[in-house]
A and B are shown apart, each in its own frame.
Chain A
Amino acid sequence: MASLITCPHCGVRPKEEFAIRGDASLIRPAPSASDEAWHDYVYVRANPRGRTVEHWHHIAGCRRFLVVERDTVTHEVYSVVDGTAAAREARR
């Protein structure tokens, strides 16, 4: 995972071209959502041991936010997709 990332736009690129933002499974609540929903969104993390999705920002490349699906123990990468597509998918 963390040596090389295959950016869907730029190809195989080294880790240091990316900035990692964190958990990509979170969906920003509606403004009217409860305090608890907002608290959970901003502060609570599932923090899985195993498969996870994470936002990696290709700051030194296409500047796209990518969703990297990977394993937190083996560091294997399962998929890398564009963040916008993933966000649209998640909202569906």
Chain B
Amino acid sequence: MTAYRLSSGGLVDRSKALSFTFDGRPLRGFAGDTLASALLANDQLLVGRSFKYHRPRGIVSAGPSEPNALVTLGSGARSDPNTKATVAELYAGLTARSQNRWPSLGFDVGAVNGLLSPFLGAGFYYKTFMWPRQLWEKLYEPVIRRAAGLGRAGLERDPESYEKSWAFCDLLVVGGGPAGLMAALTAGRAGLRVILADEDFRLGGSLLSETETVDGGAAPAFAERVVAELQSLENVTLLSRTTVFGWYDDNVFGAVERVQKHVAEPSAKLPTERVWRIAAKRALLATGAEERPLVFGGNDRPGVMMAGAIGTYAHRHGVSAGKSVAIFTSGSSGYRTARSLSAKGVTVSTIIDSRPEASDAVPHGVRVIRSGSIVDTKGRQRLSGIVVERSGFEELIACDALGMSGGWSPVVHLACQRGARPVWSDALKAFAAPDVGDTLRVVGAANGVYTLAGCLRDGAEKAAAIAAELGFNAAAAPLPVTETEAEPSFAALWYVPGAKSKAFVDFQNDVHTKDLGLALREGFGHVEHAKRYTTSGMATDQGKLSNINAVGILAGMRGVSPAEVGTTTFRPFYTPVSFGALAGTSRDVHATPTRKSPLHEWGKKHGATFVDSGLWFRSAWFPRAGEKTWRESVDREVLNVRANVGLCDVSTLGKIEVFGPDAAEFLNRLYCNAILKLPVGKARYGLMLREDGFVFDDGTVSRLADDHFFVTTTTAMAGAVMSHMDYCAQVLWPDLKVRFCSVSDQWAQMAIAGPNAREVLQQLVDEDISETAFPFLSARATALRGGINARLFRISFSGELAFELAVPAGYGEAVADQIMEAGRAHKICAYGVEALNVLRLEKGLLTHAEFDGRVTPDDAGLGRMFSAQKPDFIGKHLSARYGLTAADRMQIVGLKPVDKDKDIRAGAHLLKEGMKPSTLNDQGWVSSAGYSPVLGHHIALAFLKSGRERYGEKVAVWDKLRDHEVIAEVCDPVFVDPENKKLKA
């Protein structure tokens, strides 16, 4: 036994024993333990293996900076790899497994890497594995990859749920230690809306492991009283178990609350984690300070810990890290820890002080070795002794726990996430927070104020100042009485000379002093280069403990001040945040919104198979009994439309109402074809360009009154067109008197197409819709029998006699039902977008399969729509550029397979017959293809270089990707009814 539970004390609830397992071994802890404190209480010193050399490692810290004690919590789909045991709250039924070891934690084959370490120095892999070339892929890389990582992610579906929320406050206090609590109390009493966030499950920070008295009582009790008062204030929100991970523009903070990471069986009613976006008028960083490890030979042996952590485990958790503790310090804090441990009954045998002299009080019976240094440690998987060197003499001192105290570094991470870099302070011998303006200030130990009294005062005063700035009547909360205490002093000791074994700087990534030396020798002395070359600071702890020593060592080797070396960049996330928390509820079918047409239920009733179309679901086809493939259904629907009549839901088209005396002028400038003189009661096909002259979108424009138009867009581009119109009206032509709004969701729209369309529709409307009264391209508002307002358009996307009927969305399904009923005698069928696509393909009509953003009107065979007469429209000027008018541009053509049994597939490229495939020989590509049931063979639309001159030519349709090649004849893209006889019937 070495580490053990003290017989009394601590903030654990000894009446609530909790069972848990580590690597299958059943263990017990108490409520209030972290996994780390419980492991220590069970004398489980060996917790993990390091990344590169698989060295045995134990617990180093008592917080989020932990580099070594990483475990996988949970099992199966609820596994959380790389969890820091030092922040994992213990619960009954917790299961933890060690990582990066095989076959077991105690005996790990990977440890052989340690023997090879002279060959595995920083960046060794850049210098080898290059010969022979083939072996990199086949042998070297797989071996390296197998060694990658620490924990294992099963990538199983996560059964738990997450959510995100906004919060707004006058003051965000990050950190619930002495400074944070006093700040929150001051601001809370003054009436500010305060959010206090702390990553721990218990508020109080260092007060929880403090031995000094506050107001004559125990420090944790003081914390408890403050927390109770804060809880009673309605304007204060306390967020424990909440890590503020990022500081973003406009003083918005990201935070993650671990709502139920500390329970065995999470409730389905609560999220597991919740991400907060906190918009704060002001923020105070009360994030404390980090004690520095010391870099000496053998400093990674289990049992070597941060001195402060040993104190925390003793005072907060009632656990002694060892039977005989030694402290290695470069300053007064090591003595303070020693005193507090002694007072707690933990045996401290020796203080090794690197300084020649010190006036710090030494607890009774503790030996002090001044000017001492540790050059090696003994023991195998746990510490058994240290080799202390003094004045050239070495001495082996037995101990089973060693505390390191190398001074303090303020935790300034968040303050440095928005471009400002920390500033070296000679006084603090540390990097301090930069001045980042009024919205974020740093208090307490994070501000380099290390005494308890100072922290309490700093928090209260800064909060009072903020309250005053924000117009609140505030006074700093009265300060509690504390014991007198001097600011800690320490000597900066970046590494301890004379190491007899590896002296680690970055524990997790196994970066030791020699690696940094090698990096410098090879020209990687810049702090960023050193980091990237040695991987120092790149592990899961992001160098919270190690970076400062790496900077100090580099400074020493380069002979400059740490200020000149500087730090690497602080970036989110302060501690790692799960994908799930950041994604919140946006996952699976909720990844994006779902839009359903007002005729969705109608489609369902008729057995539609739905297909995604952007956010929409659209009816794709309507299978009937006996139809075995989608093609059978589609062919039937197409033939029925051509022979009889069909009803198709086209509600998903974008629909925009345009009003105003300048509506016609506005649209005339938007479309490349003429709109100005479109008569009332008429519809017209419209083509919109981008300003660079390429086709943006197409649709129909209908004039319902002189100053009232109704335009449609494609489904895909509805949003983009609306934004484009907003831009044109608001920014380009603000003087045009025009207003418009999207009515896509207001109207259910259906196409009734086929030779019998008129007979069917006439049953629903009173007005005359004969060819004479309502010819092709008529458009008007009307009313259905029974009085429902409707709009009727004589437009066609199938080449058949066709109408589009729009009714208010709520009536859509009923009207569609009526049409189906009225059409029964006329052999009506429902048809979906697949049939619609075949119908338009047969007619050579285009969609965004053709309009891919690189097509001019002329490429698309729509050159006649380009109105050169109009003085101005979007895209006019740049359309004249050489590249857009060159004769060898690809133009739309039709393709028919020469062998009519062969199919053509979209995405194939075109080659002149007999030519070898090459980028130079590439003649074009197939944009749309399908089987035409009318023609009885496949047809396609394609873009072919100078295509319109090449009708009749045979080309190879080359689909190498699917090993498919056919010869096709180039033809006019209109395959069916080129004279439009049916359209105008």
Chain A interface residues toward B at CB < 8 A: 1-4, 12, 14, 19, 21, 24, 28-29, 31, 33, 35, 38-39, 41-42, 55, 57, 59, 63-65, 73-75, 77, 82-84, 87-88
Contact = CB atoms under 8 A, between A and B. Distances in A.
B731 A55 contact: yes
Contacts of A57: 723, 726-727
Contact of A4 (B250, B727, B872): B250
Contacts of B691: 41-42
A3 B877 contact: no
Which of A29, A35, A42 has the most chain B CB within a 10 Å cutoff? Answer: A42
A55 B249 contact: no
A4 B723 contact: no
Contacts of B727: 21, 55, 57, 65
A87 B877 contact: no
A4 B252 contact: yes
Contact of A31 (B726, B876, B881): B876
Contact of B249 (A2, A12, A39, A42): A2
Given A3-B250, A59-B723, 20 more contacts: A3-B248, A3-B249, A3-B279, A14-B277, A21-B723, A21-B727, A24-B731, A29-B877, A31-B872, A31-B877, A35-B881, A42-B692, A55-B727, A55-B731, A65-B727, A65-B731, A75-B249, A84-B730, A84-B731, A88-B735
Contacts of B248: 2-3
A87 B249 contact: no
A42 B871 contact: no
Nearest to B872: A31
B732 interface: yes
Closest 8 A-B residue pairs measured CB to CB?
A3-B252, A31-B872, A3-B250, A4-B250, A84-B734, A3-B249, A75-B249, A38-B877
A29 B248 CA distance: 38
Contacts of B732: 28, 87
B246 to A, nearest CB: 10
Contacts of B252: 3-4
Interface centre among B252, B418, B723, B726 (most CB of A within 10 A): B726
B659 to A, nearest CB: 16
A39 B877 CA distance: 9
Most A-side CB within 10 Å, residue of B248, B691, B726, B730: B730
B419 interface: yes
A41 B877 CA distance: 11
A81 B734 CA distance: 15
B873 to A, nearest CB: 9
Contacts of A64: 726, 730
Contacts of A82: 730
B730 A31 contact: no
B878 interface: yes
A37 B880 CA distance: 14
B877 A65 contact: no
Nearest to A39: B878
B740 to A, nearest CB: 10
Main secondary structure of the interface of B (DSSP, over half): mixed
A87 B871 contact: no
Contacts of B418: 75
Contacts of A29: 877
A57 B723 CA distance: 8
A3 B881 CA distance: 40
Contacts of B726: 57, 63-65
A77 B249 CA distance: 10
Contacts of A38: 877-878
Given A31-B877, A42-B691, A59-B723, A1 B734 contact: no
Interface of B: 166, 248-250, 252, 277, 279, 418-419, 691-692, 719, 723, 726-727, 730-732, 734-735, 871-872, 876-878, 881
Contacts of A77: 250
Contact of B250 (A1, A39, A83): A1
B147 to A, nearest CB: 39
8 contacts: A3-B249, A3-B250, A42-B692, A42-B878, A55-B731, A57-B727, A63-B726, A83-B730
Nearest to A41: B691
A87 B730 contact: yes
Contact of B734 (A4, A39, A87): A87
A87 B731 CA distance: 6
A73 B249 CA distance: 11
Contacts of A21: 723, 727
A11 B901 CA distance: 64
A65 B730 contact: yes
Nearest to B168: A12
Contacts of A63: 726
A28 B731 CA distance: 10
A1 B876 contact: no
A87 to B, nearest CB: 5
A59 B418 CA distance: 28
A88 B249 CA distance: 30
B731 A83 contact: yes
B876 to A, nearest CB: 7
Contacts of A19: 723
Contacts of B277: 3, 14
A64 B730 CA distance: 7
A29 B877 CA distance: 10
B82 to A, nearest CB: 29
A77 to B, nearest CB: 8
Contacts of B723: 19, 21, 57, 59
Contacts of A3: 248-250, 252, 277, 279
A19 B723 CA distance: 9
A59 B730 CA distance: 13
Contacts of A73: 419
Contacts of B730: 64-65, 82-84, 87
A4 B279 contact: yes
A73 B419 CA distance: 9
Nearest to A6: B250
Nearest to B877: A38
A31 B871 CA distance: 7
B20 to A, nearest CB: 40
A88 B250 contact: no
A1 B279 CA distance: 13
Chain B CB within 10 A, most for which of A19, A33, A38, A73: A38
Most buried by A among B252, B723, B877, B881: B877
Nearest to B279: A4
Nearest to B693: A42
A23 to B, nearest CB: 12
A65 B730 CA distance: 7
Contacts of A75: 249, 418
A2 to B, nearest CB: 5
Given A1-B250, A31-B872, A88 B734 contact: yes
A69 B871 CA distance: 33
**B249, B250, B731, B734: most-surrounded residue (chain A CB, <10 A):** B731
A57 to B, nearest CB: 6
A35 to B, nearest CB: 8
A6 to B, nearest CB: 9
B335 to A, nearest CB: 45
Contacts of B166: 14
A63 to B, nearest CB: 6
Contacts of A74: 419
Nearest to A28: B732
Contacts of B878: 38-39, 42
A70 to B, nearest CB: 10
A32 B765 CA distance: 49
Contacts of A12: 279
A64 B725 CA distance: 11
A57 B726 CA distance: 9
A39 B881 CA distance: 10
Nearest to A31: B872
Contacts of B250: 1-4, 77
A12 to B, nearest CB: 8
A84 B735 CA distance: 9
Contacts of A88: 734-735
